[in-house]
Chain A
Amino acid sequence: MFHFSNIVRSEGDPKIIEGGPSLKQPEDQLARALGWFSIGLGAIELFAARRVTETLGMEGKETLVRAFGVREIFSGILSLSVDKNAGLWARVGGDGLDAAALLSGLTADNPKKGNVALALLMVGGIAMLDYRVAQDTKPQRPPPDARRKLYPGRSGFPKGISATRDRAKDAINHIPANVRS
């Protein structure tokens, strides 16, 4: 079987013959996809805010859209990092803000209210996905109050701690200072 990573191996170093199972779960892949989506959407909001407000009939809100863009980019980067769970929760919160902003544009006199409704629907769908992935990628760290095994018997000193201490103190007092390090 061909493994792309073998290309960069130095000659003579072991090369992959058969790949084992990945540690990545489907939810990790989804988190990654949402992270990149977030960065893409953020870039559009940041650099093409005008287009966005025009499409939604919400001209004048460009600054808000740009701020939302920055937020999207940050939660995207966080979703791609080892702290992806925090990134996904940031996205869930962001979805709430998006929805609130869109609702404010869903007025009878907005000629583009159809687009706004469509955008709201999309935010709703994505929010549900964000929420599910956030649930599924919860860190498996034990909670702070979990019962832990303790190791009070593991001193590592077969002769006991106090005997070891005494011997060490004895030894250090007999070394001249200039040969210590």
Chain B
Amino acid sequence: MKALVWHGKEDIRCDTVTDPEIQDPRDAIIKVTSCAICGSDLHLFHNFIPGMLPGDIMGHETMGEVVEVGSGMDGKLKKGDRIVVPFTIICGECDQCKRGNFSVCETTNRKRHLADKAFGHTTAGLFGYTHLTGGYPGGQAEYLRVPFADATHIKVPDGIPDEQLLFLSDIFPTGWQAAAQCDIVPTDTVAIWGCGPVGQMAIRSAILLGANQVIAIDRLPERLSMAEAGGATTINFETESVVDRLNELTDGRGPEKCIDCAGMEAHVMASQPDTVLDRAKQMVMLESDRPHVLREMIYVCRPGGIISVAGVYSGFSDKMPMGAFMNKGLTMRTGQTHVNRWTDDLLRRIEEGEIDPSFVITHTVPLEMGPEMYKVFRDKRDSCVKVVLKP
């Protein structure tokens, strides 16, 4: 089959690889009908997250049709079912899964000794996402083996196009969890850093969860226009002072809830000198992340407020203003998304026409064009916001 394979920094190729096989009774194989490129894939493209090996298949936003199941499926999944695959592989049985903390499932990381060392405790196995999280082959491919498939799936009905359902795999529940973690009350101002696909979903989620005011921050006109279309007031961090504008828009109080949808690769620019210093340190491996957004959120958040982090951080961040964080009494909530905790509710909202997540797609191309699209998405060429690939 064809698959997008990681070969090193900025080198992804569409290779021909052997087809996946059932390895365990709880496995299923799906024929992929649609998959997408995520902002997290860009961190891997840049080799900023350790643990990738040449030959790893990329991709964790995937859906398709079940073509083969193992013998231990217990009737939970059968040939012909149409499923969206959550990017977090879950067993459904461990203590964490039972609590709904799916992204920290204790069973599914097959290389847990690495994660135990790196993070103190293992987290869930993830598709197409470094050997720290299991090194499972990803879904930017024609076929995908889904381990623990009896639990790791979201069944979706026929009659709704792929485009509306695909993002249940990651970015829609990710934006939703980011907003849900904020415990939004009707008087809240929610500020969202980053208007990429995750930020766009967080904006819609904050609106659906009843925020009084949603403010979105980015520098790309096309993404800001999409944010505005979704009901946000926008700030361009390249031309305006984010802190001044946020205070202006909240009568000097600061936003009660702040969401990071930018992550470890904050834009580097001279007018934000800390980003230049972070970039320099990152290069000589003194720091792994560029946490400008975290610093800014802590500084501007209203005392007593909540900081919700959806953006991915990989290792160590310097100069965190813990003084402000502690004295202002802030709460920080983070995490890879507990996808299946939210998807029943979100699927219902899609079915009832409350939201149509396909608004975010700007490019749909054949899988073979995937490698080039990594560059287009990374360089923000052609007003690209979200790429869907068709095997």
Show the binding face of A for B, using Cβ within 8 Å.
3-6, 8-24, 28, 77-78, 81-83, 139-142, 144, 148-159, 161, 164-165, 167-169, 171-173, 177, 180-181
Q: Is B226 a contact partner of A154 (Cβ separation < 8 A)?
A: yes
Nearest Cβ on chain A to B239's Cβ, whole angstroms:
10
Q: B50 interface residue, CB < 8 Å from A? A: no
Contact check, B13 vs A169: say whether CB atoms are below 8 A apart.
Answer: no
A152 close to B283 (CB less than 8 A): no
Contact B16 A17 (CB under 8 A): yes
What are 21 contact pairs spanning A and B, CB under 8 A?
A5-B54, A6-B55, A14-B1, A14-B3, A14-B17, A15-B55, A16-B15, A16-B17, A18-B15, A21-B14, A22-B11, A23-B371, A23-B372, A140-B381, A150-B222, A151-B362, A155-B231, A157-B356, A165-B231, A180-B184, A181-B180
Measured CA separation A153–B12 after assembly (Å):
33
Which secondary structure dominates where chain A touches chain B? Answer: loop
Candidates B137, B220, B354; contact of A164 at CB < 8 Å? B354
* A156 with B356: CB separation less than 8 A: yes
- Nearest to B136 among chain A residues (CB) is A13
| Stretch of B71-79, B91-99, B202-210, B321-329 at the chain-chain interface | B202-210
Give the nearest-CB partner of B333 in chain A: A181
- B5 interface residue per 8 A CB criterion: yes
B374:A23 contact, CB within 8 angstroms: yes
Task: State which of B20, B55, B141 has its C-beta within 8 Å of the C-beta of A5.
Answer: B55
Q: Say how far A3's CB is from chain B's closest CB, in angstroms.
A: 7
Q: Does B355 lie at the interface of the complex (its beta carbon under 8 Å from any beta carbon of A)?
A: yes
Chain A: which residue is nearest B284 at the CB level?
A77
Question: Which of A4, A14, A158 meets B353, CB within 8 Å?
Answer: A158
**Are A158 and B356 in contact, with the CB atoms below 8 A?**
yes
- A83 and B269 CA atoms in complex are apart in Å by 13
Q: On chain B, which size bracket covers the interface? A: 35 or more
> Which B residue sits closest to A82, measured CB to CB?
B46
* A148 / chain B contacts, CB cutoff of 8 Å: 220-222, 383
In the bound complex, CA of A37 to CA of B184 (Å): 55
Q: Are B359 and A155 in contact (CB under 8 A)?
A: yes
Chain B residues within 8 Å of A13, by CB: 20, 137
Per-position binary interface string of chain B over residues 162-202, scored 1 when its CB falls under 8 Å from any chain A CB and 0 otherwise: 00000000000000000011011110000000000000100
B55 close to A139 (CB less than 8 A): no
A150 CA to B222 CA, complexed, in Å:
5
Given A140-B381, A152-B225, A15-B18 contact (CB < 8 Å): yes
The reply to whether A168 and B209 form a contact with Cβ atoms under 8 Å apart is yes
B16 touches A157 (CB 8 A): no
From the candidates A16, A81, A173, name the one contacting B5 in the complex (CB within 8 A).
A16
Contacts of A144 in B (CB 8 A): 238
Closest to A87 in B: B283
The answer, among B110, B185, B204, for a CB contact under 8 Å with A157, is B204
Instruction: Say if the beta carbon of B230 comes within 8 Å of chain A.
Output: yes
CB neighbours of A164 from chain B (8 A): 207-208, 231, 354-355
Shortest Cβ gap from B16 to chain A (Å):
4
Alpha-carbon separation in the docked complex, A65 to B54 (Å): 38
A157 vs B14: C-alpha distance when bound (angstroms): 35
Of the residues B11, B55, B381, contact of A3 by C-beta under 8 Å: B55
Interface residue? B241 (CB, 8 A): no
Most B C-beta atoms less than 10 A away, residue of A150, A154, A155, A156: A156
Given A77-B284, A82-B9: A168 and B222 interface contact (C-beta under 8 Å): no
B113 on the A face (CB < 8 A): no
Find chain B residues with CB under 8 A from A6 CB: 55
